[in-house]
Amino acid sequence: MTGASVAAREGRWAWRFTGFMTVCVYIFMFAPIVATVILSFNDSMFGGFPMTGVSLRWYAKLMTNEPVLAAFKTSLWIALVTAAVSTLVGVIAAVALVRFDFRGKQTISTLVLLPALVPETILGVGLLVLIQAVHQPRTLWLLLLGHILLTLPYVVLIVQARLVGVRRSYEEAALSLGAPRISTFREITLPLLIPAVMASILLAFTISFDNTSASLFWRPAGVETMPTQILAMLKISISPEINALGTIMILVTVGVPLVGGAILQGVSHFRKRSNKKGNQP
Amino acid sequence: MHDTTMSDASSDPRPFTAGDSSQGGQPAVDFRDIDIAYGKFMAVKDFSLSIAKGSFVTLLGPSGCGKTTILRSLAGLVDITTGQISIGGRRVDDVPIYKRNIGLVFQNYALFPHKSVFDNVAFGLKYRSVPKSEIAAKVTKALEMVRLPGSEKKLPAQLSGGQQQRIALARAIIFEPEVLLMDEPLSALDANMREDMRVEIKKIQKETGITAIFVTHDQEEALSMSDQIVVMNAGRIEQIGTPQQVYDEPATGFVANFLGKANMLPGTVSAADSSGATVALECGSDVKVAAPRALAKGDGVTVVVRPQKLSVTSGADGNRLAGRIVSASYLGGSAVYEIDIAGSIVRANSAIEGKPLAEGDAVEAGFEPHDCILLDAQGRRIA
């Protein structure tokens, strides 16, 4: 047997093994999601296999479940406000950290990222302890502030990374042409940051909408977010309603970034196309 | 050629004027006693320069010599530590960049990637409240000037490097700034494009009559485009002069070496009279040189000979330095030889007669007594 065919045989086995492992990993990753989605259409009274029939009854039941609807609303508006505020503050912070020199810049740059490194549970307890130390009640505002705190580091990281890649000479050119600093930011810097801004909004929304552990500590009495509501429901029983709720959660958290990405691509595509059209004589 | 009439601006240790200021009036740009420090590092020291209206001045020097820093200080992108800068007689030290009325061209073009060519070129007009109808006409004219008419709707990414730089040039001059600043605008282009652009930039500058300051480390660009060249080294001005002056009459050893890689042969004056001297070179030979003024016996001097003036062909008169060729680069009509003369290496760029010489050949490198420049012990040209 020649050396080459040995190598080829070894290569073939290596490929087979890699393929097998890949399939295993994918099954492991997606099986729970698929199971949840399938079981949400199960007609059975119990939230597990076997399927006894296909039905939308759990979705219908969910729509009349007041606590679930309230939790969904709470989560949705907290996620939206978090995404908006975090992105606004994050963009300003990133511009300051990348484009300006000031004392203690390095320290601030590290401190901004710290909440992303500290375990969420610690952050959750920490904020709670702080609030109690200054004798403030737990309110929705606290929950909202907490979510902003959790998402801000990611926004700063994303925008910083993009801004480093935006050459300063673009801004210098605009300034030299007579555009004051605010106009330069609006006309040059911000449009070049749009991909990072969109990514920030989507990521902040998803992080906030998904957050469980910190929200458990921060929510005011009687208020539930979607994840904490699911936890509460699980404590009583594994109702098939959970599967329907889980499917809706998956739809929102996966769907929002996908739709956002598609819109972004559509916009840039449209821009390019209209541009090409314009060039034809 | 080294008569005393040459001892004007070019040999003055700190000349102030670049460009033809004989027409009088205010200089377009005036730097006075500029120091620029980055922390403890002095990027520019004691820089004074006055630039006449309509002239093309090049700041030439190796990287890190402070030429870009000076340009950026004029643009308002770098703060000066001391001194004052005026544009058209108006002090601009405290004027923000967007009110200085300057055109800026960058090495990397810096066209706004998300804006069309039209919006790029019109950008400066928009901030000068020029009426819309006028903007369109001016953009059309500017694009014709840079020979890219009809490209209004393209995006920068759809243009080649050379085209992008022409658009950048149009964008920088369309609002008729008081001075056009160009920071190594040709360095990112390939060699052929660079030469075309050189001619084009010079042509447009002449047509518009705009005062231009050009920063480069490329001596060919500087020599071919400039009215005046400011040679800089380590944050200081080495010499200001016309291209011919800085090349033929370098004020210092640095200038002689930076422009044209001259051979520097250190030695001591062994005999002198009113018209010339004999110098005992450190490499062992005695050479006769023409001196612009009487030298004293025992003076330390450096004899500077351009590679083009050093001939390896037989039969030349004048000084002969015996040596051995250590490397030969054939260039077609001529060849560049590196010759080892008793341990020091000199370069000769010589026409080829018959067969080019080869490595290891014994040769005599020769030059005429008047084909050299003399530097004193401080490295300044003896004039």
**Could you tell me which of B253, B162, B176 has the C-alpha nearest to residue B208?**
B176
Do B211 and B348 sit in the same domain of this protein? no
Q: Which residue of A has its CA nearest to B78?
A: A172
Tell me whether residue B381 is in a domain.
Answer: no
Q: Which of A165, A202, A166 is nearest to A184 (CA)?
A: A166
Query: Is B114 in Cβ contact with A173 (below 8 Å)?
Result: no
Burial of B143 (0-12, 13-18, 19+ CB in 10 A): buried
The answer to whether residues B183 and B310 belong to one domain is no
Task: Give the closest-approach CA distance of A275 to chain B in angstroms.
Answer: 7
User: For the segment A229-251, what is each residue's pLDDT rounded down to a tens digit?
Assistant: 888 888 877 777 888 888 888 88
**B157 shares a domain with B55:** yes
By CB neighbour count within 10 A (0-12 exposed, 13-18 middle, 19+ buried), where does A130 fall?
exposed
Is there a contact between A172 and B99 if contact means CB atoms under 8 Å apart? no
Contact at 8 Å (CB) between A200 and A87? Answer: yes
Q: Give residue B16's domain range.
A: 4-257
Do B233 and B62 meet the contact criterion of CB atoms below 8 Å apart? yes
Residue A46 lies in a domain: no
In whole angstroms, give the CA distance from residue B381 to residue B383: 6
Q: Tell me: do B16 and B130 sit in the same domain.
A: yes
Boundary residue ending a domain (B199, B231, B257):
B257
A211 located within any domain: yes
Which residues are within 8 A (CB) of A271 and not within 5 positions of it... i.e. 6 or more apart? none
Q: What is the CATH number of the domain that holds B147?
A: 3.40.50.300
- CA gyration radius, chain B: 24
Question: What pLDDT is stored for residue B212 in this prediction?
Answer: 96
Helix (H) or strand (E) holding A52: none
Tell me, yes or no, whether B213 and B96 share the same domain.
Answer: yes
The domain that holds B353 is classified in CATH as 2.40.50.100
A244: left (phi over 0), alpha (psi -120 to 50) or beta: alpha
Decide if the complex's ipTM is over 0.85.
no
Residue B15 has pLDDT above 50, yes or no: no
Distances (CA, A) of B37 to B75, B85, B110, B121, B317: 17, 16, 27, 34, 52
* pLDDT(B68) > 90: yes
pLDDT tens-place string over residues B24-60: 568 899 999 999 998 889 999 999 999 999 999 999 9
**Domain final residue pick, B257, B280, B313:** B257
Q: What is the predicted pLDDT for the residue at B110?
A: 94
Cβ contact B185:B201 at 8 Å: yes
pLDDT grade for A280, boundaries at 50, 70 and 90: very low
Q: Output the DSSP codes for A132-173.
A: HHTT----HHHHHHHHHHHHHHHHHHHHHHHHHHS-HHHHHH
**Residue at a domain's end among B223, B257, B291:** B257
Greatest distance between any 2 Cα atoms in chain A = 81
Q: What is the mean pLDDT of chain A?
A: 86
Average confidence score pLDDT of chain B: 87
Contact A194, A131 (CB under 8 A): no
pLDDT digits (tens, 9 = 90+) for B78-100: 999 999 999 998 999 889 999 99
State how many domains chain B has: 2
Q: Compare B122 and A276 and report the one with higher pLDDT.
A: B122
Residue B57: inside a domain: yes
Q: Do B106 and A172 touch (CB under 8 A)?
A: yes
On whether any CB of chain A is under 8 Å from the CB of B127, the answer is: yes
Collect all residues of chain A within an 8 Å Cβ-Cβ radius of residue B77. Answer: 172, 175
**Confidence check: pLDDT of B311 > 90:** no
Statement to judge: residues B233 and B283 lie in one domain:
no
Least CA distance to B155: which residue of chain A? Answer: A275
Which residues on neighbouring strands pair with residue B29, listed in sequence order?
Answer: B51, B87
Residue B265's DSSP bridge partners are: B303
Which pLDDT tens digit goes with each residue over A60-116? 888 888 888 888 889 999 999 999 999 999 999 999 999 988 888 889 888 888 888
Q: From chain A, which residues contact B within 8 Å (Cβ)?
A: 167, 169-170, 172-181, 183-184, 187-188, 191-192, 275, 278-279, 281
Which chain B residues have a beta carbon less than 8 Å from that of A278? 153
DSSP symbol at A64:
T
Q: Can you tell me the mean pLDDT for B332-348?
A: 87
Q: Which domain holds residue A228?
A: 65-279
Return the CATH number at A242: 1.10.3720.10
Angle at B16 between CA B12 and CA B19, to 5 degrees: 105
Q: B380 lies in a domain?
A: no
Residue A206 domain flag: yes
Pick from A27-41, A247-261, B9-23, B285-299 the range whose average pLDDT is largest: A27-41
State yes or no: pLDDT of A257 exceeds 80. Answer: no
pLDDT band at B342 (very low <50, low <70, confident <90, very high): confident
Q: How many CB atoms lie within 10 A of CB A254?
A: 12
Q: Do both B249 and B306 map to the same domain?
A: no
Residue A141 has pLDDT above 50, yes or no: yes
Q: Are B116 and B154 in contact (CB under 8 A)?
A: yes
Question: Both B173 and B215 in a single domain?
Answer: yes
How many angstroms separate the CA atoms of A280 and B152, rounded? 12
In a domain, B382, yes or no: no
Of B64-78, B126-140, B278-292, which range is least confident? Answer: B278-292
Residue B103 makes CB contacts below 8 A (sequence gap 6+) with A176, B124, B171, B172, B173, B175, B177, B179, B180, B181, B210
